[in-house]
Chain A
């Protein structure tokens, strides 16, 4: 960079010499000492004011501004990082919570299912028992009916036979002999009438 600048200057200084030689005929106002003191005086005043005001008032303010910005940015970064970790923690907690509640929900569901299945089972058993009782009752009734049926039939058969004999022969027949015959027949043909 510096080399470049010096090179640039060298090139320029050749220009300068040529031009200043050509300008010599007109005279250089720079070499007229008439206003030298005045220029120095006003230079001291203006540059002095500039230097004092800049270094006393303006440059410290700029320095403060730059430092203020730097520290503010650092602070902001710090708080941002803090908030980031906080957010991450919260997210972790949230995930944990969600996982837990999912498990809980599953458990509830499973429990409920188990309970319902048990209930159904219990009710089914109770119902089965009742049905069985009913069935056995009905069976007993049927059995009773079946047991009573031959007696009645025998009675009817004896009465019918005695009636028939009276009609045919016109003679009173001893009921006991008829019942003996019917019994005998019944025993003989039991399989025929009540065959299973």
Chain B
């Protein structure tokens, strides 16, 4: 197991095989960590919101600070029009953050290191943002692909580039998160196996690297959740306030 750093990403079935119409929806370790993340978020924020103290308790402060953090992020990037999407962006940020953080525990599984999960979330955002854009602006939303102040000769080229960049949004959004998580965990595994193979004499250097990487990975786990949420906000801003 220690030989291959990719084994940590393997999905395996927990419990019986569940099939609906030949489609396998068995409960796996990935499902387990998704449920654990969701439930811990609910638990923490339920504890943080159940009391109504003037001077907040620590957990209440945590919940309220996260609330104002996300709220500020949305109003900074998408303005006041972004307020109705607060719940979705808050849930997204917290879900990604907790999945990333649970992945930092030894022997755990990192949900967000799977391209299918991140791609599904990114596609959801992409489709949602596009639908919102068309609802708000009708076909005028297509003006997004025609930047103002571009010479007429260059316009066809620019429009093609804009469309490609727009369509690549879900891919870049999902691959960024997935690749960051996977790379970090693979590196930690590699350095961990170096510690074992170099033994008591030479193992100290990769061990110190491992410790440093752990800190870096916790930072990356937070940062990627933040980037995921803030890019969602930026895409939402494009759809809500159409000025290119």
Are the CB atoms of B30 and A39 closer together than 8 Å? yes
Are the CB atoms of B60 and A65 closer together than 8 Å? yes
A168 beta carbon closer than 8 Å to chain B = no
Measured CA separation A20–B182 after assembly (Å): 9
B45 beta carbon closer than 8 Å to chain A = yes
Are the CB atoms of B23 and A58 closer together than 8 Å? no
Instruction: For B66, give the chain A residue with the smallest CB separation.
Output: A62
Among A30-38, A77-85, A110-118, A186-194, the one that faces the other chain is A30-38
Are the CB atoms of B180 and A12 closer together than 8 Å? yes
Main secondary structure of the interface of B (DSSP, over half): helix
B134 beta carbon closer than 8 Å to chain A = no
B5 beta carbon closer than 8 Å to chain A = yes
Query: Which chain B residues (216-244) contact chain A, with CB distance < 8 Å?
Result: 220, 223, 226-227, 230
Which residues of the partner chain A approach B230 to less than 8 Å between Cβ atoms? 2, 5
Size range of the interface on A? 35 or more
Contact of A9 with B180 at beta-carbon distance under 8 Å, contacts A19-B187, A62-B45 already known:
yes
Distance (Å) between the CB of A56 and the closest chain B CB? 9
A: residues with CB less than 8 A from B are 2, 5, 8-9, 12-13, 15-16, 19-20, 23, 26-32, 34-43, 45-47, 49-51, 53-55, 57-59, 61-66, 68-69, 72-73
B: residues with CB less than 8 A from A are 4-7, 9-11, 23-28, 30-31, 34-35, 37-38, 41-42, 45-46, 48-50, 52, 54, 56, 60, 63-64, 67-68, 86-88, 90-91, 94-95, 111, 113-117, 120-121, 176, 178-180, 182-183, 186-187, 190, 220, 223, 226-227, 230
Additional A-B contacts beyond A51-B88, A61-B49 (12; CB < 8 A): A12-B220, A13-B179, A15-B183, A26-B7, A30-B114, A30-B178, A39-B31, A40-B117, A42-B35, A43-B111, A46-B31, A49-B38
